[in-house]
Structures are given as structure tokens and as C-alpha cells.
Chains A and B, each alone.
Chain A
Amino acid sequence: MSDPRSELRDRRTDRRVLIGTVLVVFVVFGVATVPQIALQSAMNDSDAPVELAPLLMDIGRRILANVVVLAVVFGVLALLRPLSHRGPRLVVDAVIAAAAAGLVRAPLQILRGQYSLDEAPKALVESFTVFLLAFVMIMVGLEHVAARRRIREQERASMRQTLIASAALDALAAEELRVRRDVAEGLHGTVQQNLVVLAVRVDDVANRLEASGTPCADVDELRDIRRSIDHIRETDVRTLSQLLYPVGMELGAVAALRLLLQRLPGTIASTISISDEVLDLEGNGNTVLTVDRRLLLVRIAEEALSNALRHGRASSVSLALSLVDGAIVLVFDDDGFGLGPSPSPSGLARFSERLQPIGGAVEFGDDSPLGGARLIARVPVNRAASAGSGGRQAVAQLAHERRDDSLEAAAIFSSDSELTLVARPAVEDVIDPVKLFETPKTIGDRLEPTQ
């Protein structure tokens, strides 16, 4: 156990379980049976009818005696601290505590007047019985604690496994996104610039040939090649780059969506409205969503846009973002032909599959106020841990500790029960999700089942 707070909590729980179990056993043997024994004893002592008042007095005295014995058991156990021991030492602790109970019993009974001094051997026999009963009582308690401990360990191990698996998946997803971003940046930067240079060189050659009086057809061909290069650069490379990783992703969902719509041809009317709550979360450079959820929002908008333009032949689109019940709600309207008789929102089914596990949803209907199709997507905001369970806090803590030069990690938790750990390595490092958790015990030890 490395976390003192967690250790303390465990010890308290164990102590509670031990005391509780011993008390239950005590009530069964040391309280519930007393009236029966007292009655038996009263009837044995005389043939006269049993009177209630003396009987009750006797019951009270007997219970008091048993409580004193119990107090001795607890007192000795508190001194011996059996919960921090294991194996034979545990049994020795139980024997000592039970023996103390037995030893106290004989003088107590003599003092109480149950036995006269001559009957000391009788009292010793009873002491031995008490010793056995106390021993059984303590052992039942200790065994119960051990069982609870085993269950706790198992729960923790399984939570640890789940956590590692989930973190590994997320780390892989994050890594894929990183690679995509790098490739997209490479396409946008290096490839674009190389194509610019190439186009200029082709132009130069064309100019020189023209000056030297080369046949017009050759020059025209070169000019055509130059136009093709420009087209590849402006359209193909840009589209490919956008496919890999949308522009503006690092600036928040609002930025990415604005940059998506600003590139629409001028013949398409477009409006965007964004609520202040969404701006606070994902606008003006704020980024609260995990990259995968932001990407999901942008991809859904792309799909809606593509449906509107390709199938609906829309001439006007509108996009609205608002925050409803902890989820970003994207409403995309168009004035196109709508879904038509046989809608095939296959692309949206894909998004639906990805949204469902995180508590999101996407709907597609024919009821846009603009006259065409309307898409509504709900993407829950996964915000940082606040009132989460100990496990969430543990991962947040771990992520915080891991924030060093080589690894930037952030624990982000969804509003639902899903737990995600996003690990972003430095660009030079290749992340190894297993290495990230090479000391899983540390996490596990801090995991507390939600109380």
C-alpha cells in the first residue's frame, strides 16, 4: 500500500468488520441465550414458581458479566492489533484474547456470587468454556475480515485491469490521432510548398521556351501541367489533409466547425450560431472536449454538409451549437431535397455506433425549418474529474504526477461512468501504453470502490 489515506481507510473498514462480526456472535451467544440459561438455573435452584423480578435481576447480572468479558476481548485485541498480522500469529492473538476473557471469567463469577471459593474448579471449567467461545467468536470475526479483504483485492484487480485496458485503447486512439495530425501537417506544409516550387519551375521553363520560339503546343502543354499542379495542391492535397485531420482541431470545436463552413463555395448561403456556453467550453481557444469527441463533432458536421450538398443539392445551410444537459448539441439544417423516399444515412449509422457508448446520439430527419434535412447530434462533454469516485481521482492524480518532460498526460472523465485517460507523448516519443502503467499496483492501491 503506497497511499496512506487509502491504507487508513482499509484499516478502518477491517476494524469495523471485525468489531461488527464479533458483536453479532456475542449477541447470539452472550445475550440471546442468557434468559434461557437464567430461567433454567432458577428452576433448578428451587421448585417454587419462578418470580419475575429476581429472574430479571439475574439476567441483567449475567449479561453484564458477559459484557465485561467482551470488553476484555476488545481491550486485548486493541493491544495485540491482530489485523496487522497474518497466519499463525493471528491465531496466537486470538488465543491470547480468548484466554484473557476466560481468566477474567472465573474471578468475576466468584465475585458475582455465582460460585463460592470452594467451587473454584467449577469456575475454572466455566472459564475454559468462555475461552473456547471467545476464541470461536474472535476467529469468526477475523475470518470474516479476511474474506472481505479477498473480495476487495479481487475488485481492485478487476478495476485495475479495466482501467489499463481502457487507458491502453485510449492511448492507441490518441496515438493514431497524433500520427494523422502529423501527416496532415506534413501534407499542408512540406508537400504544398514543394508543389508551389515545382509549379514555379514549370512556369520558368515555359517562359524560357516561349522566349526561344519553341512551338506553341509545347508551351501550352507546360502551362497545362502547371495548372494541374496547382489544382492538385489546392484541391487534392488540401482535401486529403482535411480528411486526415480537420484544420483548427487544436483550437476547439467551434474553430474547426467555423473553418469547415468558411471554405464552402460562395454560392452556398451559410449561417452559424453558437451559444455562449459552448463558446466557454470550445470557443475562443478553449478546449474542454477530448480530441476524439471534438473530431466526432467535426466529422458529423462534415457528413451533414456532404449529404446536404451532394444528395440534397442544398443552397443554404445553417449550423447551431448549444449546450443541453451536459452535452454539446449540434443542429445542422439545409434547404435541400431532404431525405427523399429512400434515405440512406449509412454514414450517420457509423457515427451513431460511436456515440452510443458515450451516451450521445445522432438523428436525421426531414423537418428542417429551412425546408430540407435536419441533423441533430448530441456529444456529451467529458469534463475533468470533480465529484467522481476515488478511482477517477486516482487516475487524475496519476496523470498529474506523470506530467513531466517526456509525457504530457491528462485524465479526463466523461459525465457518464466511462473512464478515459488521454496520454499525449512528446513528439519524439512513441507511446507504449503498457509502459505508461508499468506500476499498475500504484493505481490499484488507490482505487476505492464507490461507497
Chain B
Amino acid sequence: MQSGNTGLAGVVTATGSTPLRVAVVEDQPLYRAMLVTLLEAEPDVTVVVVASGVSEARALITPGLIDVAILDVELGDGNGIGLGVSLRRLDDDLGILLLSSHDVMSLLLDLPVDMTKGWSYLSKNSSTTADLVMHAIRETATGGTVLDPALVQRATPRSGSAMAGLSPRQYQVLQVLAEGLSNVGIGERLGISPRSVENHINAIYATLNIESNGGRNPRVAAVLQFIEESARV
């Protein structure tokens, strides 16, 4: 771990577990301030870097300094996708949480194959609740992928796609999985046992042709396929 050179780095909270260290990169001052305030109020997260653009973020974020970078997609001097890719090249364990007022989750589909885990997307319109943002940060930090729940629930399987072959229940399970919930979480949400969640997920993998023991994280692969094969009008 690196202590960092930003002056903001190295903040240690009094709680027992090590808080997650995040960077906030957002060009709109009001939204940035709101996000930082929201995060500072949480005990298990610490805002290590605050930046208003790509160049500032590149200068402040050094490998190992943070666990998750929260990046606005539309930045004044560039964009969050390119910034995320370049930060990730320097730090393989870094989680990237993208924020945008547009539904840009399709952009996760173009990421280099070795870089797909640990990328999440929340809509700016629905990302104002602390619980949701914290859930996304936690999942992203451990290599999971969280998609904006409101957009996920509005999505429908695209005709002719493999995903269109899922049963309604399986599709529901996949939707909640795309929100970044664990099997237990999915079971609680849908009122089914973790065991049947597991069965559903295996059936989903089979229908979507995802190898559950392949090199890629099957959950991430399923989420990417969900993005690729859903219509979000």
C-alpha cells in the first residue's frame, strides 16, 4: 500500500476494518460536492482523491492509492471511459464505477478482455442514494459488476438473442444478478432459496453459453451479455 502524495491520502478512520479508499472524478462542482459529502458520511469508505477532470485525476491517482475510482463519463477534458482504462492499466486491482446521465453501459462491452471485471455503472439520475452508491463501491472493489437497478429493470431481452431464450424467472434472476447482488441477495429479493437461485444461474449460464469454470468470471460474462442483448429504450 502506498501512502500517496496528494495530501488527502492516508486518512484512517477509527473503525476496525480498513475503509475502502475511493477517488471521485467529476467536473460538475455541485454534483461532485454532493457525492463527496454523501461518501464522507459513510464509515467504511474514505475519499482519498477528489478531481475535476482527466488530467487532474491522472496526476493524483497513483497505483495502489485507491480501491475504487468513481468516474463521471462526461468530463470537460476527456471522458471517464478512457480515464478508467488508463488507470486500470496501471493498477489491475482498481475498481471503476462509472457515472453518467446517459445509459452508457454498452461501453463496458468494448473493454479489453483482461479488463472486464470490476467495472460498474450507475445513472446519475438514480445514484443519489448512499446505499446504492455504497453497494456499487463494495462490489466493484472486489471485482464485481453493478449496473444501475432502474435501467436494468427497464431493460427487455432483445428479440433473436440468446437471452430471449431465458424463462421469465431466469431473466428476473439475471436482472438482479446484473444489479450486483449475491446469490443470497438475489434469493431475498425474489423470495426464493439460495439453492434455487444457484440452479437458475446454472441454467442461465447454459442458455447464454457461458462456461462457469472458464477463465472469465462467469457472473461478469453474464452481466456483459445482459448488456449486449437487452433493449433499453
Residues of A with Cβ closer than 8 Å to B?
A: 188-189, 247-248, 250-251, 254-255, 258-259, 262-270, 274, 279, 283-287, 315-316
B196 in the interface (beta carbon within 8 A): no
Instruction: From known contacts A255-B104, A264-B231, infer whether A316 and B160 are also in contact, taking CB-CB under 8 Å.
Output: yes
Which of B45-53, B151-159, B204-212 has 4 or more CB atoms under 8 Å from chain A? B151-159
B216 in the interface (beta carbon within 8 A): no
For A189, the closest partner residue in chain B by CB is: B101
Query: Do A285 and B159 touch (CB < 8 A)?
Result: no
CB distance from A234 to the nearest CB of B (A): 9
- Give the B interface residue count (CB, 8 A): 30
Q: Which of B82, B231, B232, B233 contacts A286 (CB 8 A)?
A: B82
* Bound CA–CA A316/B231 (angstroms): 13
Query: Do A262 and B231 touch (CB < 8 A)?
Result: yes
Query: Do A188 and B101 touch (CB < 8 A)?
Result: yes
Q: Which residues of B contact A264 (CB under 8 A)?
A: 158, 231, 233
Supply 13 A–B pairs (Cβ within 8 Å), ascending by A: A251-B104, A255-B81, A255-B107, A262-B231, A263-B232, A263-B233, A266-B158, A274-B110, A284-B81, A284-B82, A284-B107, A285-B83, A287-B79
Residues of B with Cβ closer than 8 Å to A?
A: 73-74, 78-85, 101-104, 106-107, 109-112, 156-161, 230-233
Instruction: From known contacts A258-B106, A258-B107, A285-B80, infer whether A266 and B85 are also in contact, taking CB-CB under 8 Å.
Output: no
Q: Which residues of A contact B83 (CB under 8 A)?
A: 285
* Bound CA–CA A387/B78 (angstroms): 27
Query: Do B159 and A315 touch (CB < 8 A)?
Result: yes
* Bound CA–CA A316/B164 (angstroms): 14
Q: Which of A262, A265, A269 contacts B160 (CB 8 A)?
A: A269
Query: Do B159 and A259 touch (CB < 8 A)?
Result: no
CB distance from A395 to the nearest CB of B (A): 22
Query: Do B110 and A283 touch (CB < 8 A)?
Result: yes
* Bound CA–CA A274/B107 (angstroms): 12
Instruction: From known contacts A269-B160, A269-B161, infer whether A279 and B110 are also in contact, taking CB-CB under 8 Å.
Output: yes
* Bound CA–CA A289/B191 (angstroms): 50
CB distance from A9 to the nearest CB of B (A): 36
CB distance from B162 to the nearest CB of A (A): 11
Given contacts A264-B158, A266-B233, A287-B82, 15 further A-B contacts (CB under 8 A): A188-B102, A251-B81, A251-B107, A255-B81, A259-B102, A262-B231, A264-B233, A266-B156, A266-B231, A269-B158, A269-B160, A270-B158, A284-B81, A284-B82, A285-B84
